[in-house]
Each structure stands twice: as C-alpha cells, then as structure tokens.
Chain A
Amino acid sequence: MSAARDDILGRIRGSLGRGAVPAETAVSLAARVAAHRRNLVPARAAALAATARIDLFVTMAEEVQTTVARVAASAAVAEEVARYLAAENLPAELVMAPDPGLDAMGWETRPMLRIRRGKAEPGDMVSVTPCLAAIAETGTLMLVSGGDTPTTLNFLPDTHVVVVRADQVVAGYEDGWDLVRARAGADPAAWPRTVNFITGPSRTGDIEQRIQVGAHGPRRLHVVVVDGAAAGGDG
C-alpha cells in the first residue's frame, strides 16, 4: 500500500503546486501542534467561578435528560445509588469500575447492594463509574478507558451512574484535554485507548425526527455530584 501512500501525498503536493513541506515550514507546523494553543473558548463556562460552574454543569446536564443528585460527601454515594435504583424500580445489583477512587463511597452501609467490580457483561443492568472530568459548558461527562475503567461500562448496561467529584467540574473540552495529557505524560502507552464525552443518555431521532431516548446505549444516565470532595484516586 505504500505506493498508494506515495501517490496520494504526491497528488496533494502536485495540486498545491509544491514539493514536500519545506523544512522551516515543517518546524513551524510542528511547533503549532506542540503548543496546543486554544482557539476561541465560549465565555459561557470559562468566565465562571467554581460554584457557578458546577451549577451550570447541572443545568446543562439536566437539559439533556441526565438526572443529577448532589451529595455532601463520598461516604453518601452508596446511599444515593441505592435510593436511585429503588426510585427507578431497578434491581439492587450493579457492576462497578474497579477504580480505587470508588472504594470509599459508603458501600458497606448498603449491604443489600450486590456489587461486582470489572467490565460490563451482557445482561448487566446498572453500571457505576468514575469520570475524569465533567464539562460545564454542555453538561458533558469525560471518561477515559483503562484497566480500572473499562469502556463497556459506559455503553452496555441500561443504566449508567457516574460519580463526579465537585473539583472535577471544568469549564470546557480543552480543560479536559489538558487533564488527559497530564495523566499520560510523554508515554504513548499511557494515552487511553478511548476517551468518551457523554452528554445525556443514548437517543435517536431517526424515525420522523421524534427523539427517542435509549437507542443502543444507556436509557438512563444518572450523575452523583460529590460536593466538597477532596481528590482521591485519579478518576
């Protein structure tokens, strides 16, 4: 296929009326890439202080049928999850990301919750995951894949519960990219296979443009915001 590669690159250069990019241009293009310069970022979220940013996240998330509960401390997450499952008539059984950041959420106070740690299997009804960040601008969750955070948890179960520490709420997507970069460092192997931006439950408008929630992914997306939580685990 390298003949095709050379041909395509050659045609591009021919159409642009030049040879390969000159060395000094290549240097400046590489510098542009390395700079990660932000383009215009809307003021909607960027101009807000932390408290207002969290409120905006909640407002925007609820607009797209994400349900949001706020709890005062990590230890209260289990109680909220149990409450939510009961209120939605869902079984008290869930598959949870193996991420250690989810260990101390008061699960021992809810012994009736049956919890498995690992990736999602067909038939799992409810998953609980952490996130890397929550983006206030559009009420979007940002999740990264890893051994402790399997991607199947985000898509296979009918109900997806995401735990968000208040200090994880950032303004825009760019803040999220910075977190991914900081986490991975210079090691390509540390870069996650998958980064998911999730904005509300699965939906489709493919039949007569009438929006139906629950197309192929989760039918319900529930976010538990832990106010005043200190960072624990890397999310």
Chain B
Amino acid sequence: MEPTSHTFTANAAAGLADPTLQRALGLARTGFPLKRAQAVARLPEFEALRDEGRAIKDHVLAHLDFYLELFEKNVTAHGGQVHWARDAAEARAAVLGICRSVGAKTVTKGKSMIAEEVALNEHLEANGITPVETDLGEYIIQLRHEPPSHIIAPAIHLMKEQVADSFRAAHTDLPAERPLADPQALCEEARAVLRPRFLDADVGITGANFLIAETGSSIIVTNEGNGDLTQTLPRIHIAMASIEKVVPTLEDAATLLRLLARSATGQEFSSYTTMSTGPRRPGDVDGPEQYHVVLLDNGRSKLLGGEFQDMLRCLKCAACLNHCPVYVAVGGHAYGWVYPGPMGSVLTPALVGLAEAGDLPNASTFCGRCESVCPVKIPLPKMLRHWRERQFAEKLTPQTVRTGLSLWGFVARRPRLYHAAAAIGARLLAWAGRGRGRFRSLPLAGGWTRVRDMPAPQGRTFHQLWAERQRQAGR
C-alpha cells in the first residue's frame, strides 16, 4: 500500500473524532494489557526469559549472514527452496513466479505482515490470481478493502455491526435476513464460507514467526487453525519472512515462543504452533508437494550495526501497540502504513523513509510503557529519539520548530541565562494570570491551549524554591 504516514496529524484527528473507532479502541485498551499482566504474573521466570530472548536475537543479528546461509542449506536438504528478495518488488515477483509455475488461480493466505509490507494481494489480483485471506480479522478487512490496523488483531478497529454489514454485502448467496448479531454467528459464517476456499486453493501462503537455521524450518503461531489449513491443503506452501526471523536452534525458538504468546494475547501458548520443514515426504498422504521460503530484506540489512539494530529483535507480538497511549487513542490506521504503534514508528521511517514517516517518531510521549513490556527489551523510546535527532540533522523538521528548538538549546546550554530567563518568565506569567490562575490562550502555546487551559505559574521557579528550601534546612 502507498503510505499516508505524512498525514499522521490529520489521520489521528480523524481517528479521535470517530465514535465507532473510539468504542472499538475502548475494548482494546483494557483487554490485551490485562491478559498480558495475568500471564506474566503466572510465570516467575518471565523477566529472565526476556533477557535470554534479547540475547538470542542479539547473537543472531551479529551473525545473521551465517544463520541465513545455514537456514538455506537445510531448507534445500529437506527438498525446499529459498528465494532471496532484496525489495518488495522481488518478493512479489518470486511469489507470482511460483504461482504461475502451477497455473494457480486461487491462493489462500494465512496472516503475514510481510505479505502486507510488499502489498502482495494487489499484485496477485493485477495478475489474475485471487488471494483469499483466511485469518478472520484479515478476511474482514480484505472484504472492506482496508489495511490492517494492528499487527496481530487486524480488525481491532471495527465493531461487530460493521463486520455484519461487510458479510451481508459480500455473502450475497446467503439469506439476507439471517441473524448476524453476535461474534459467534459471524465466526460461524466465516468458517462456512472459507472452508471450500481452503480446499480449492492451488497455493497457500503463510508468514513465519521464526525460521530455524538448524532444520531449515518455518514456524507459524496462530489460534484459528487457518494457517495450518492454508499450508497443508494446497499443492504448494510459500512462507514469507524477513531476514531477521531466523534463530539458530529449536531450543532458541522454544524460549522465544514462551515470550511470544504471553506478550501478544496473554495466552500461555497459542492454540497452534506449527513447524514446517520442506514438502511432504515420500509416504506422506497429505501436505504440500512444494515448499518455498521467500526471504525479504527490504532495507533491514541497512539497520544492522547502527542505532536501529535493536529493532530487528522484534517478535511482532504487538505488546507495544497494546500498551501505547497514543496507539489506543488514535488507532492503527492513523500511522498510515503497515506497522503502527511504537514498533511501527521506529520501523516505518527505516523502510519507507523519514521524509514520508517523520511524524511517527514524534507521535510519542516517551512514557516508556512500550519498552517496559517488550519481550525482547527493545529500547523503543530511545530509537524514536534517534529518529527525531536525525530529522533535525537532515533539516526535515518544520522551520518554526527548528527555530524554537535552537533558541531553547541556546538558552538551556547557558545555566545563568536560563535561570534568569525562567525567573522573568515565571514572574511575568504569574502576573498576567493572577486573576484566573490559568490561561485560555497563550502565544506560542496554541498546541496546548487549543484543547485545555494552561495553569499560570505562581511566580517563582523550581530552582528558586529549591535554593530557598536548602537555605531553610541550613545546608
């Protein structure tokens, strides 16, 4: 999809003003964080596992070339094939080439953020192949022609009534007056509609939560079982993954799996964790005849060795989204591309450019909740700050902000000047606001006073009060 991250401010305002979206986000605000907290509380080793998870990923990133080569060698040893893709276009071409080699007409898809990143569905459709999303949330947004608004709950921005409307509009062969009032009925309908699609598909495409170097396997983690039907029934299974998904051993995967479900949905373990290695074996009576892995770089290799390398530890669990006060206020679509929330605000500028996505690193209060819940301890606020610094250095920040920051920086680096200026300012504002004790509007502070009053200071600065108390205490 074409990013609209540059209109984040307008997108966010629209999200805040959308009452249905706000109702949907209201459900998200409490659900995921509570379940995660309960799951974490049940596992005394959780903190230690976070440290181990971080160490495993750091080890992989430092030797990424080695593990990718080992992975490829073992995929090949089991009869599968790896396709390396430098960018989105190469990944799309690889998938299309495989589909065409068997004259595929329909393709079922398990949930894959990499497929979203490379805009695979549009490409397949343009080439006469019908992609069918099978994850319930992905299916809903495919019917609505919307991008996902969350990396593990793609339809989190919708209420059940909207889903019912979409189903009525799409499933015209079903009785118009059938009841679709509750999630159970919607779920049943999706199950019934999608079952024949699973059985008819020529190719099944999934993502991969992990790639295992020692065995050449891909692992998917789902709850619905759609990913398993997608990769078991068709003749061909294609797994799409970015290069940093590789881990050395099954033991390493086990550690990361213990972190993943708890951080994502608050489950002890997702319903289905499935490891696939190569195509069906001689003697097998089901399973795909071909197994392909499309390995996507798309700018990630550039992040190694620099200030954004830590981002490549990401397990795509969405805990940072679920705990972000900005995300749960404005919703995922405001971020304007595939990855929303704190992880998206770090990753998107790296993948689509800072000029397009420069607003995203600024859409943060630096409250730090994202880092505190990240299963692999990615320092998200620090990296958001790196983007802001880079934005400033590359002169991408608006001139008013640059001037303001330069002025503030000049004063802040000179303590005497700063204290004097602050003392004058505090006294001036206290005098000006002496009547009401607050300001309805204030020059240069419109961003604040447009939506709330600014309290008037009482006349003296913190430093003055501090010095006075120190004197009173006789120090």
**Chain A residues within 8 Å of B, Cβ to Cβ:** 1-2, 4-5, 7-9, 11-17, 20-21, 25-26, 29-30, 32-33, 36-40, 42-44, 60, 63-64, 118-120, 122, 138-140, 145-147, 150-152, 154-156, 172-174, 177, 188-189, 191-210, 212, 214-218
Contacts and interface: CB of A to CB of B under 8 A. Distances in A.
Interface in B42-84: 43-45, 48-49, 52, 56, 62-70, 72, 74, 77-78, 83-84
B182 to A, nearest CB: 8
Given A155-B225, A199-B269, A215-B224, A191 B251 contact: no
Contact of B65 (A12, A154, A172, A193): A12
A214 B191 contact: yes
28 contacts: A16-B64, A16-B65, A16-B305, A37-B251, A39-B56, A43-B45, A64-B268, A146-B281, A147-B284, A147-B285, A151-B232, A155-B225, A155-B232, A193-B278, A194-B277, A196-B272, A199-B268, A202-B224, A202-B271, A202-B272, A206-B136, A206-B140, A206-B224, A207-B136, A207-B158, A209-B28, A214-B188, A216-B198
A12 B156 CA distance: 36
Nearest to A4: B84
B184 interface: yes
Contacts of B301: 8, 11-12, 14-15
A39 B224 contact: no
Contacts of B64: 12, 16
Given A155-B228, A174-B254, A145 B284 contact: yes
B360 to A, nearest CB: 23
A39 B254 contact: yes
B254 A177 contact: yes
Interface string B162-182: 010000000000000000000
A200 to B, nearest CB: 5
Interface in B180-204: 183-184, 186-188, 190-191, 194-195, 198-199
Given A177-B251, A216-B191, A151 B269 contact: no
Contact of B83 (A1, A29, A155): A1
B94 A118 contact: no
A198 B134 CA distance: 19
Given A145-B287, A192-B281, A201 B232 contact: no
Closest 9 CB pairs of A and B: A217-B225, A215-B224, A206-B137, A15-B304, A11-B301, A147-B283, A197-B273, A138-B269, A5-B84
Contacts of A173: 250, 254, 257
B65 A206 contact: no
Given A119-B286, A189-B282, A215 B250 contact: no
B361 to A, nearest CB: 21
A196 B274 contact: yes
Contact of B84 (A8, A21, A32, A118): A8
Nearest to B291: A193
B85 A212 contact: no
Contacts of B72: 5
Contact of A20 (B65, B135, B191, B279): B65
Contact of A9 (B28, B69, B270): B69
Contacts of B249: 32-33, 36-37
B352 interface: no
Contact of B153 (A15, A146, A209): A209
Interface residues of B, number: 106
Contacts of B24: 208
A111 B273 CA distance: 36
A207 B69 CA distance: 40
A2 to B, nearest CB: 8
B323 to A, nearest CB: 15
Given A42-B258, A218-B225, A15 B306 contact: yes
A44 B191 CA distance: 36
B77 A188 contact: yes
A11 B306 CA distance: 13
Given A42-B258, A196-B228, A199-B268, A11 B302 contact: yes
Contacts of B136: 204, 206-207, 215
Contacts of A145: 280-281, 284, 286-287
Given A204-B223, A206-B154, A207-B136, A212 B183 contact: yes
